[in-house]
A and B are shown apart, each in its own frame.
Chain A
């Protein structure tokens, strides 16, 4: 069963507008972490934001925020005031901690294109 689902293969957003990238997850572990990574065309993986399963508040990092809805098992990334440099692939990932092994599972990604 797919543990991390990103249903949007591609998204367009106008520069300076906000965009939401969807991510749903599936786990029975009460302790888990959710991550978003950005992969520009140069190929490196850039960590953006983290949400722990016990965190009461949604995580924010500058223009990035994570809309965490635990009951719905969703962890959507919101990018505010999009910039041309935000054009990239975005991956949602989940860390499960079964017996301290820290396994990370990635979604298939969403390709975001910011339009001038």
Chain B
């Protein structure tokens, strides 16, 4: 059972370059999230999706774009990378919270991005 898979795990970008962080989950979860974690800090929500075709902004969406064409995949696109986007990015998903489950986030292993 793979859970939430993120690729790549590490990436170095030059200022102005673009890239896509891939996230896929095999648990048939409707809800998916992208967070960033700056050094020594907590997680900040970038974008989230409540189902295929539906996305919405979180706390820090500037400089990012997402799409959700399938239930499984939720890629995060960085356009015109800037040093401020140096961070660890986490993708997460949940089953809808009901009285039968806690609705805890299932996290990928993270993607460490450095922009130089």
**Footprint of B on A, CB under 8 Å?**
4, 6, 33, 35, 37, 43-45, 47, 50, 52, 91, 93, 95, 97, 100-109
CA distance A47 to B31 in the complex (A): 17
Cβ contact within 8 Å between A108 and B41: yes
Chain B residues within 8 Å of A43, by CB: 88, 109-110
24 A–B pairs (Cβ distance < 8 Å), ordered by A:
A6-B42, A33-B102, A35-B102, A43-B88, A44-B107, A44-B109, A44-B110, A45-B92, A45-B105, A47-B104, A47-B105, A50-B102, A50-B103, A91-B42, A97-B97, A101-B50, A102-B96, A102-B103, A104-B92, A106-B35, A106-B44, A108-B41, A109-B41, A109-B42
A86 to B: closest C-beta gap in Å: 19
Give the residue of B41, B56, B105 whose beta carbon is less than 8 angstroms from that of A104.
B105
Q: How many A-B residue pairs have CB under 8 A?
A: 60
A22 to B: closest C-beta gap in Å: 14
Question: What is the total number of residues of chain B having a CB less than 8 Å from a CB of chain A?
Answer: 26
Binary contact readout B52-80 vs A (1 if CB under 8 angstroms, 0 otherwise): 00001010000000000000000000000
Cβ contact within 8 Å between A102 and B42: no
Cβ contact within 8 Å between B107 and A101: no
Binary contact readout B76-116 vs A (1 if CB under 8 angstroms, 0 otherwise): 00000000000010101010110000111101011000000
CA distance A37 to B92 in the complex (A): 13
Q: Which of B58, B88, B107 has the most CB of A within 10 A?
A: B107
CA distance A33 to B94 in the complex (A): 13
Cβ contact within 8 Å between A102 and B31: yes
A33 to B: closest C-beta gap in Å: 6
Chain B residues within 8 Å of A50, by CB: 102-104
Known contacts being A33-B103, A35-B104, A45-B90, is A105 close to B50, with CB within 8 Å? no
Chain B residues within 8 Å of A100, by CB: 50
